[in-house]
């Protein structure tokens, strides 16, 4: 509110003309699958699926692809949807699949199962219709294939005051430095500049003409052993390999290693002479890939003296070159020059170990009590514990010289010494520094705190008649009142920074000076991510009572 009263905004955006779009995509899938009983104790399944999909289209062809060298391109480099679809049809999407089940000793107690499949998955509409390409750009359009149309008007997303407005706010006795950080607002001043159309530079997007359908290889091998008539144990290897996944590349990024401002005469963009009004030219490619490998174990019990439940343990690693195909802050922070392999790191959702169980116990009838009180009791429990997910240390600004709002910080390998009980400094921040000019650091080099929570419930069913009963429940969340926390910020500039005398362009975070920022906690996970502040994961111990009437 204070920021608004001062006439300051963190960002602002608008579009021009008719913004409604009717997006469609035609697709076809054909598959054949059969099962063979090769032997009484061995079953084999084989199948094949073929998928084909056309390019995402718009009912009135309101959209365009940036193809400056295409004969059909206009002066701005665009080819409209009425002239050519966004990309060609990918016709070779054949997905084989195979699986087997083998009763090894022919007694039903030891079973080996395995399978493989190749699956094709189209990008969601948002990836193409509304890619989050604007988060890292200093200013310019929220570029999308259906908002860049051949009308000369670009949607605009700004995070600082346009140059034509800056002169107005600097016209007093003292320049307003806040207008460099915020969008300054005042009565009678057009937020987006002094012209009707927004000021350049703009961002544009492009998709490869031979864009391929992303695919995923999935494979598993499981052995399950019956321990008793009511219990079993299984151990499995489960893996996936994603290929031809969506990745975004800035075709107009400035060369690395040049300390001069990106887009200046001494550090021009590759297409700056030909298209001076364009800043980022973001190409949607199939360069990304991912790998997941896991060991999964499970112990199951079914109706064993009133006890039913399952205990699971998963040990896994997930790596990829980017965990969000729509973009956002995971989008363009690739190494410069472009090398997607250097972005290969633990996925945003990588949790190396995960333990969980759920059990329900039907309490035996207490014969010494009346049936209404001594029967119908049950107790359940749910437990979940997992290692924290990775997060990235970053700095505000453009040390990588790609024209970004944020850049990955550098990590020099100093031991992190995690202490998740220290709310003021849960790891050693000294190893993180501002990158040298023209360079950027690495992603997902840190771990946030994990989660560990036990929930329990007590239930009683009062059977009053054949058709009428009342169910009482008492549920307790986070029974052990275990403290869990959410990290405050990944921005190392929320710490104090000290100069590195040995490397003048490199500045390090100072340990113990990050209160409220990098390396600190600020809330429990449920509050930190904006969800239910009482009964969500991570809250203090809570309980609730309830009655349900069935008739």
Q: Supply φ then ψ for residue 76, to 5 degrees.
A: -85, -5
CB 403 within 8 A of CB 258: no
Lowest mean pLDDT across 56-60, 232-236, 313-317, 527-531 = 527-531
Q: What pLDDT does residue 206 have?
A: 92
In terms of Cα–Cα distance, which of 475, 279, 281, 296 is closest to 380? 475
Query: Strand 278-304 vs strand 202-207: parallel, antiparallel, or unpaired?
Result: parallel
Q: What pLDDT does residue 374 have?
A: 84
Give the mean pLDDT of 347-363: 95
CB 192 within 8 A of CB 162: yes
- Per the DSSP assignment, residues forming a β-bridge with 340 are none
For the chain, percent of residues with pLDDT exceeding 70: 83
Q: What pLDDT does residue 17 have?
A: 65
Give the mean pLDDT of 364-371: 84
In terms of Cα–Cα distance, which of 480, 481, 473, 478 is closest to 457? 473
Burial class (CB in 10 A: 0-12, 13-18, 19+), 36: exposed
Place of tokens 């008719």: 18
What would the pLDDT profile of 518-543 be if each residue is shown by its tens digit? Answer: 888 878 777 775 555 555 677 889 99
Question: Over 90: is that where the pLDDT of 485 sits?
Answer: no
The rounded distance, in Å, linking the Cα atoms of 131 and 320 is 19
Measured CA to CA in angstroms, residue 52 lies from 25, 83, 359, 479 at distances of 11, 22, 44, 51
- Is pLDDT larger for residue 454 or for residue 405? 454
In terms of Cα–Cα distance, which of 201, 164, 153, 191 is closest to 13? 191
Measured CA to CA in angstroms, residue 382 lies from 26, 449, 482, 548 at distances of 43, 20, 14, 21
The pLDDT-based confidence of 307 (bands split at 50, 70, 90) is: very high
Give the mean pLDDT of 21-46: 95
The rounded distance, in Å, linking the Cα atoms of 497 and 510 is 6
Q: What pLDDT does residue 140 have?
A: 44
Exposure string for 447-474, b = 16+ CB within 10 A, e = fewer? bbbbbbbbbbbebbbbeeeeeeeebebe
Q: What pLDDT does residue 371 have?
A: 78
The pLDDT-based confidence of 221 (bands split at 50, 70, 90) is: very high
The pLDDT-based confidence of 423 (bands split at 50, 70, 90) is: confident
Q: What pLDDT does residue 139 have?
A: 39
What would the pLDDT profile of 260-301 be if each residue is shown by its tens digit? Answer: 777 888 888 889 999 998 888 888 899 999 999 999 999 999
Q: What pLDDT does residue 332 have?
A: 47
pTM, 2 dp: 0.87
Q: What pLDDT does residue 16 have?
A: 67
The pLDDT-based confidence of 143 (bands split at 50, 70, 90) is: low
Q: What pLDDT does residue 168 have?
A: 84
What would the pLDDT profile of 424-438 be if each residue is shown by its tens digit? Answer: 889 998 888 887 766
Question: Over 50: is that where the pLDDT of 461 sits?
Answer: yes
Measured CA to CA in angstroms, residue 418 lies from 352, 424, 425, 520, 545 at distances of 16, 12, 9, 11, 38
């Amino acid at each position: 509110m204070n920021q608004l009263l001062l006439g300051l905004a963190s960002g602002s955006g608008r579009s021009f003309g008719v913004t409604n779009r009717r997006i469609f995509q035609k697709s076809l899938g054909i598959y054949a699958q059969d099962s063979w009983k090769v032997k009484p104790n061995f079953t084999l399944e084989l199948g094949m699926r073929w998928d084909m999909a056309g390019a995402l289209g718009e009912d009135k062809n309101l959209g365009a692809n940036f193809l400056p060298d295409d004969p059909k391109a206009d002066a701005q480099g665009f080819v409209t949807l009425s002239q050519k679809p966004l990309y060609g049809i990918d016709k070779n999407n054949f997905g084989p699949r195979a699986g087997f089940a083998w009763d090894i000793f022919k007694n039903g107690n030891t079973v080996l199962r395995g399978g493989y499949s190749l699956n094709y998955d189209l990008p969601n509409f948002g990836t193409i219709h509304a890619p989050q390409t604007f988060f890292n750009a200093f200013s310019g359009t929220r570029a999308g294939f259906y908002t860049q149309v051949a009308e000369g008007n670009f949607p605009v997303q700004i995070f600082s005051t346009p140059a034509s407005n800056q002169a107005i706010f600097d016209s007093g006795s003292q320049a307003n430095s806040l207008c460099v950080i915020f969008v300054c607002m005042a009565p009678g001043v057009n937020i987006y500049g002094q012209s009707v159309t927004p000021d350049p530079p703009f961002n544009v997007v492009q998709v490869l003409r031979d864009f391929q359908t992303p695919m995923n290889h999935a494979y598993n091998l499981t052995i399950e052993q019956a321990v008793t008539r009511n219990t079993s144990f299984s151990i499995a290897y489960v893996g996936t390999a994603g290929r031809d996944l969506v990745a975004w590349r800035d075709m107009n990024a400035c060369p690395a290693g040049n300390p001069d401002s990106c887009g200046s005469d001494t550090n021009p963009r590759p297409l700056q002479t030909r298209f001076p009004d364009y800043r980022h030219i973001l190409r949607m490619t199939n360069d990304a890939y991912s790998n997941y490998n896991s060991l999964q174990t499970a112990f199951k019990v079914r109706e064993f003296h009133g006890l039913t439940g399952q205990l699971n343990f998963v040990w896994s690693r997930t790596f990829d070159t980017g965990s969000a195909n729509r973009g956002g802050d995971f989008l363009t922070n690739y190494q410069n020059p472009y090398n997607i392999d250097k972005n290969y790191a633990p996925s945003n959702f990588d949790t190396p170990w995960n333990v969980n169980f759920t059990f329900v116990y039907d309490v035996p009838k207490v014969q010494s009590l009346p049936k209404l009180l001594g029967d119908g009791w049950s107790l359940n429990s749910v437990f979940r514990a997992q290692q924290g997910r990775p997060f990235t240390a970053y700095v505000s600004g453009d040390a990588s010289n790609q024209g970004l709002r944020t850049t990955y910080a550098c990590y020099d390998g100093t031991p992190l010494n995690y202490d998740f009980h220290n709310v003021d400094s849960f790891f050693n921040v000294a190893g993180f520094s501002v990158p040298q000019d023209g360079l950027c650091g690495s992603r997902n080099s840190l771990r946030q705190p994990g989660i560990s929570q036990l929930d329990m419930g007590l239930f009683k069913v009062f059977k009053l008649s054949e058709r009428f009963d009342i169910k009482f429940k008492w549920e307790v969340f986070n029974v052990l009142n275990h403290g869990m926390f959410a990290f405050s910020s990944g921005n190392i500039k929320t710490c104090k920074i000290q100069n590195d005398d040995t490397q003048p362009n490199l500045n390090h975070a100072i340990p113990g000076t990050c209160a409220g920022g990098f390396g600190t906690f600020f809330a429990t996970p449920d509050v930190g991510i904006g969800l239910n502040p009482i009964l969500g994961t991570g809250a203090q111990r809570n309980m609730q009572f309830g009655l349900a009437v069935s008739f």
